Structure 1
Amino acid sequence: MGIAGRLVDRQLGLTEPPAAYVTDENLRVPMSDGVELLATLYRPPGPLRPRPTVLSRTPYGRDGLGSIIGTLLARRGFQVLMQSTRGTFGSGGQFRPFLHERADGLDTLAWLREQEWSDGRVSTVGPSYVGHTQWAIAPYADPGLVSMNADITASEFTSTFYPGGAPGLLNLANWVNQIGRQERIGAVTGFLATPILSRRKQRAVTALPLQAADVAIAGAPVVFWRDFIEHADSPGEFWGPAEHDGFDPARMPPVSMVTGWWDLFLDRQLVDFTALQRGGATARITIGPWTHGDRGSLATTAHEMINWLRRHLHGEPDDGRAPVRVYVQHADRWTDLPSWPPPDAEATDWHLAPAGRLTTDGPGARGEVDRFVYDPADPTPAVGGPMLQPPSKQHDNRGTEAREDVLVYTGPVLETDLDLLGDVSAVIYVRTDGGHGDVFVRLCDVEPDGRSLNITDGMHRLVPEAEAVAPDGTVAVRIPLSPTGYRVRAGHRLRVQVAAAAFPRFARNHGTGERVATATSGRRIAYEIRHGADHPSHVTLPHHP
Structure 2
Amino acid sequence: MKKQKVTENIKITRDVPVSMRDGTILYADIYRPDDQEKYPVLLLRTPYNKSDAQTMNYAHPIWYAKNGYVVIVQDTRGRWKSEGTFDPYKAEGQDGYDTVEWAAHLPDVEPKVGMYGFSYAAAVQLLTAAERPPHLKCIVPAMIGSDGYNGHVYKHGAFALALNLSWTLFVSQDEAFRRGKWDWLREISFNTAAIQSLYHYLPLKDVPAVKEELTPFYQKWLEHHVRDEYWDRYSMQDHYEKINVPVLHIGGWYDIFIDGTIENFQGIKKYADAKAASEQYLFIAPWYHMPWSRYVGELDFGEHARNRIDEIQLSWFNRWLKDEENEWCQKKPVKYFLMGSNEWREASQWPPPNTINTNYYLHSSYKANSINGDGKLSIHLPEKEASDIFVYHPSIPVPALGGRSGADPVLTPMGPKNQLPIEARNDVLVYTSDILEEDVSVVGDIKVILYASTTAEDTDFVVKLIDVHPNGNAYNVAEGIIRASFRNSLERQEPVPASQVIKYEINAGAIANVFKKGHSIRLDITSSLFPTFDRNPNRLVKPGSATAADFIAATQTIYHGGRYPSHVILPIVKEQR
| TM bucket normalised to smaller | 0.7 to 0.9
Say if 2:176 and 2:214, in contact at 8 Å, map to a contact too.
no
State the partner residue of 1:12.
Answer: none
Displacement of 1:293 in angstroms is 2.2
Displacement of 1:317 in angstroms is 0.7
Say if 1:144 and 1:251, in contact at 8 Å, map to a contact too.
no
* Separation of aligned partners in 2, 1:470 and 1:184: 46
Aligned to 2:566, which of 537, 540, 545? 537
State the partner residue of 2:41.
Answer: 53
Alignment of 1:415-434 (within 5 A): 415-434=437-456
* Separation of aligned partners in 1, 2:382 and 2:201: 42
State the partner residue of 1:171.
Answer: 163
Q: C-alpha deviations, 1:287-336, integer Å up to 9, x for none?
A: 22211123427742111111110000000013133222222222122112
Say if 2:237 and 2:267, in contact at 8 Å, map to a contact too.
no
Relative to structure 1, is the Cα distance of residues 489 and 122 closer, same or farther in structure 2, using a 3 angstrom cutoff? same
Q: State the AA in 1 paired with 2:32.
A: R
State the partner residue of 2:388.
Answer: 370
Displacement of 1:250 in angstroms is 7.1
Q: State the AA in 2 paired with 1:534.
A: R
Relative to structure 1, is the Cα distance of residues 90 and 451 closer, same or farther in structure 2, using a 3 angstrom cutoff? same
Say if 2:191 and 2:198, in contact at 8 Å, map to a contact too.
no
Aligned to 1:205, which of 199, 217, 226? 199
Aligned to 2:64, which of 57, 73, 76? 73
Relative to structure 1, is the Cα distance of residues 462 and 472 closer, same or farther in structure 2, using a 3 angstrom cutoff? closer
* Separation of aligned partners in 2, 1:538 and 1:203: 36
Matched, 1:154 2:140: no
State the partner residue of 1:190.
Answer: none
Alignment root-mean-square deviation, CA: 2.9
Relative to structure 1, is the Cα distance of residues 471 and 204 closer, same or farther in structure 2, using a 3 angstrom cutoff? closer
State the partner residue of 2:183.
Answer: none
* Separation of aligned partners in 1, 2:473 and 2:213: 41
Say if 2:390 and 2:426, in contact at 8 Å, map to a contact too.
yes
The share of aligned pairs that are identical, in percent, is 28
Displacement of 1:135 in angstroms is 0.9
Secondary structure of the 1:149 match is: strand
State the partner residue of 1:311.
Answer: 319
Matched, 1:126 2:123: no
Alignment of 1:188-267 (within 5 A): 200-213=194-207, 215=209, 221-231=214-224, 233-249=225-241, 251-267=243-259
Q: State the AA in 2 paired with 1:228.
A: W
Matched, 1:358 2:377: yes
Relative to structure 1, is the Cα distance of residues 139 and 250 closer, same or farther in structure 2, using a 3 angstrom cutoff? closer
Matched, 1:269 2:261: yes
Structure 1, unaligned runs of 5 or more: 1-14, 187-194
Displacement of 1:45 in angstroms is 2.8
Alignment of 1:435-446 (within 5 A): 435-446=457-468
Displacement of 1:525 in angstroms is 1.6
State the partner residue of 1:3.
Answer: none
Secondary structure of the 2:505 match is: strand
Say if 2:44 and 2:53, in contact at 8 Å, map to a contact too.
no
* Separation of aligned partners in 2, 1:237 and 1:369: 41
State the partner residue of 2:32.
Answer: 43
Structure 2, unaligned runs of 5 or more: 179-188, 272-276, 294-304, 366-374, 487-491
* Separation of aligned partners in 1, 2:11 and 2:86: 29
* Separation of aligned partners in 2, 1:69 and 1:533: 60
Relative to structure 1, is the Cα distance of residues 352 and 363 closer, same or farther in structure 2, using a 3 angstrom cutoff? same
Displacement of 1:538 in angstroms is 0.9
State the partner residue of 2:297.
Answer: none
Relative to structure 1, is the Cα distance of residues 532 and 18 closer, same or farther in structure 2, using a 3 angstrom cutoff? farther
Q: State the AA in 2 paired with 1:358.
A: L
Say if 2:145 and 2:152, in contact at 8 Å, map to a contact too.
no
Q: C-alpha deviations, 1:91-123, integer Å up to 9, x for none?
A: 111222222212322332343345445554322
Q: State the AA in 2 paired with 1:486.
A: N
State the partner residue of 2:12.
Answer: 23
Secondary structure of the 2:132 match is: coil
Relative to structure 1, is the Cα distance of residues 482 and 511 closer, same or farther in structure 2, using a 3 angstrom cutoff? same
Matched, 1:347 2:357: yes
State the partner residue of 2:513.
Answer: 486
State the partner residue of 2:296.
Answer: none
Say if 2:468 and 2:519, in contact at 8 Å, map to a contact too.
yes
* Separation of aligned partners in 1, 2:267 and 2:99: 27
Q: Number of paired residues?
A: 519
* Separation of aligned partners in 2, 1:63 and 1:486: 38
Say if 2:146 and 2:263, in contact at 8 Å, map to a contact too.
no
Q: State the AA in 1 paired with 2:123.
A: H
Say if 2:158 and 2:534, in contact at 8 Å, map to a contact too.
yes
Q: State the AA in 2 paired with 1:239.
A: W
* Separation of aligned partners in 1, 2:268 and 2:168: 31
* Separation of aligned partners in 1, 2:227 and 2:270: 28
Relative to structure 1, is the Cα distance of residues 281 and 544 closer, same or farther in structure 2, using a 3 angstrom cutoff? same
Matched, 1:523 2:552: yes
Aligned to 1:100, which of 83, 91, 107? 91
* Separation of aligned partners in 2, 1:223 and 1:466: 25
* Separation of aligned partners in 2, 1:434 and 1:523: 8
Say if 1:350 and 1:539, in contact at 8 Å, map to a contact too.
yes
Q: State the AA in 2 paired with 1:32.
A: R
* Separation of aligned partners in 2, 1:538 and 1:144: 50
Secondary structure of the 2:237 match is: coil
Q: State the AA in 1 paired with 2:376.
A: R
* Separation of aligned partners in 2, 1:468 and 1:209: 21
Relative to structure 1, is the Cα distance of residues 184 and 77 closer, same or farther in structure 2, using a 3 angstrom cutoff? farther
Say if 2:13 and 2:31, in contact at 8 Å, map to a contact too.
yes
Say if 1:250 and 1:281, in contact at 8 Å, map to a contact too.
no
Say if 1:180 and 1:220, in contact at 8 Å, map to a contact too.
no
Displacement of 1:86 in angstroms is 1.0
Matched, 1:333 2:343: yes
* Separation of aligned partners in 1, 2:5 and 2:401: 43
Q: C-alpha deviations, 1:233-288, integer Å up to 9, x for none?
A: 12543221121212345743111122221112111101111223345331222222
Q: State the AA in 1 paired with 2:524.
A: Q
Structure with greater proportional helix content: 1
